[in-house]
Amino acid sequence: MTPYDDTLAADRAAAGPLIDELGRTVTYLRLSVTDRCDLRCVYCMSEHMTFLPKVEVLTLEELDRVATAFIGLGTRKLRLTGGEPLVRKGMMDLVRGLSRHRDSGALDELTLTTNGTRLAEFAGELAAAGVRRINVSLDTLNPGRFRTLTRGGDLSKVLAGLDAAQAAGLAVKINTVALKDDNAAEIPDLIAWAHGRGCDLTLIETMPMGEVDVDRTADFVSLKDLRAHLESFWTLEDLPLSTGGPARYVRVAETGGRLGFITPLSHNFCEACNRVRLTCTGTLHTCLGQDDATDLRALLRAGASDAELTAAIRTAVLGKPRGHDFQIARARPAVARHMSTTGG
Ligand code: SAM
Ligand code: SF4
């Protein structure tokens, strides 16, 4: 327990859940813990990224405080992301600290999204801290292609990380960005491989976020088309499963595994959106595809009380935009910030 855990629980009881003007209840926070990463995926970062000075990034204590504030306001699911969360110094201290909310029952799930390069080192500690499921991003099983797509990454580290995660008892979902010229032809093999080792796999369309040196338009592949291709040799059975998020799920009859489609560009999913994102600098974005932003770091560092912090969060959520407006054909990104800043 920290001194502010009690007051925040009291606030929640007094004022009800976090709700926006359209009646959507926000119960899911994605918290970016760093903008740094040990990879440079071509669709996510430019080759020579300038990372933020340390002073701009929330401290571990600030991350804990703001996450706790959200949990006090009814957040049931917390996903830690980045940048690469496992390169953040002290990351395990943060995870262990936040796991008190899972232990108390305030949080249903504490999870993270990782590129997997450091999982071999941390899988055991994550499992011991009560993490049960993780998402691992992986776009190819070809070492050379992996090196190209990540600008220098070593696939064997990710595969060792996956082994370690599963050996530690973590359920793993693979996230794969579909790229027409880079991995589209390999995707059926990737799905069969993931399902063969007991992992769900979710396909993601590239989103126009941040300048990245490459032309995303050229490499964009519509998941509608990819799905039609998969259906030419597999039976895809729609699953009712809804996470309040953008993914739609099917079961592949032939593999028995679950396959998700995240289609921000060819399908709009905003009416059921239950999530918000906090960048590693403490900026709250209530929509991934809009530029709305609330600076919670300024409040935290000005010595705001718990009541002031929760009031700012409530106000920001109230104004959550109706929906995003991504269009891959636009010359400029829909939002200037990179996915690694906002957290995927
Ligand atoms: N580094 C971690 C990882 O790669 O899983 C966590 C952060 S990363 C920004 C989160 C997710 O966003 C990854 O699955 C990545 O593939 C995805 N992503 C990054 N840039 C994207 C883009 N422009 N469009 C679609 N997905 C993107
Ligand atoms: Fe790093 Fe993840 Fe972005 Fe790849 S997608 S550059 S691993 S933050």
Query: Is residue 224 a contact partner of residue 203, using CB atoms and an 8 Å limit?
Result: no
Residue among 235, 319, 241 nearest 284 (CA): 319
Residue among 226, 224, 126 nearest 168 (CA): 126
Taking only the tens place, the pLDDT of each residue in 272-329 is 788 999 999 999 998 877 778 999 999 999 999 999 999 999 999 998 877 766 554 4
CA distance 314 to 110: 22
In this prediction, residue 330 carries a pLDDT of: 47
CB atoms within 10 A of CB 94: 22
The verdict on the CB of residue 172 being under 6 Å from ligand 1 is no
For the chain, the average pLDDT equals 88
pLDDT band with cut points at 50, 70 and 90 for residue 34:
very high
Q: Which residue reads 């190819």 in tokens? A: 140
Separation of 334 CA from ligand 2 center, angstroms?
A: 19
In the chain, pLDDT over 90 holds for what percent of residues?
67
The verdict on the CB of residue 340 being under 6 Å from ligand 1 is yes
Which of 69-83, 125-139, 319-333 has the lowest average pLDDT?
319-333
CA distance 174 to 194: 7
CA distance 19 to 30: 17
> Which carries the bigger pLDDT value, residue 109 or residue 321?
109
In this prediction, residue 93 carries a pLDDT of: 98
The verdict on the CB of residue 84 being under 6 Å from ligand 2 is yes
In this prediction, residue 338 carries a pLDDT of: 61
Residue among 153, 182, 202, 211 nearest 339 (CA): 211
Query: Is residue 76 a contact partner of residue 103, using CB atoms and an 8 Å limit?
Result: no
Domain boundaries, the chain: 9-342
Structure tokens at 342: 């906002």
> What's the count of helices (H) and strands (E) in the chain, helices before strands?
12, 12
Query: Is residue 86 a contact partner of residue 135, using CB atoms and an 8 Å limit?
Result: no
Q: Compute φ and ψ for 216, nearest 5 degrees.
A: -70, -30
In this prediction, residue 324 carries a pLDDT of: 66
Taking only the tens place, the pLDDT of each residue in 221-270 is 888 889 999 999 999 999 986 666 678 899 999 999 999 998 765 555 67
In this prediction, residue 273 carries a pLDDT of: 84
* Structural fold of domain 9-342: TIM Barrel (3.20.20)
H or E element in which residue 10 lies: helix 3-15
In sequence order, the 6+-apart residues with CB closer than 8 A to the CB of 333 are: 208, 209, 210, 211
The residue whose CB lies within 8 Å of the most ligand 1 atoms, and thus the one to mutate among 34, 44, 133, is: 44
Which residue has the CA at smallest separation from atom 8 of ligand 2? Answer: 83
Q: Compute φ and ψ for 218, nearest 5 degrees.
A: -65, -35
Q: Does residue 332 register a pLDDT over 70?
A: no
Taking only the tens place, the pLDDT of each residue in 140-199 is 999 999 999 999 999 999 999 999 999 999 999 999 999 987 898 999 999 999 999 999
> Which carries the bigger pLDDT value, residue 210 or residue 198?
198
Residue 283 Cα distances to 102, 129, 167, 252, 341, angstroms: 24, 27, 36, 39, 10
For every residue of 317-337, DSSP letters joined together read HHT--S-----TTSSS-SBSS
Query: Is residue 179 a contact partner of residue 221, using CB atoms and an 8 Å limit?
Result: yes
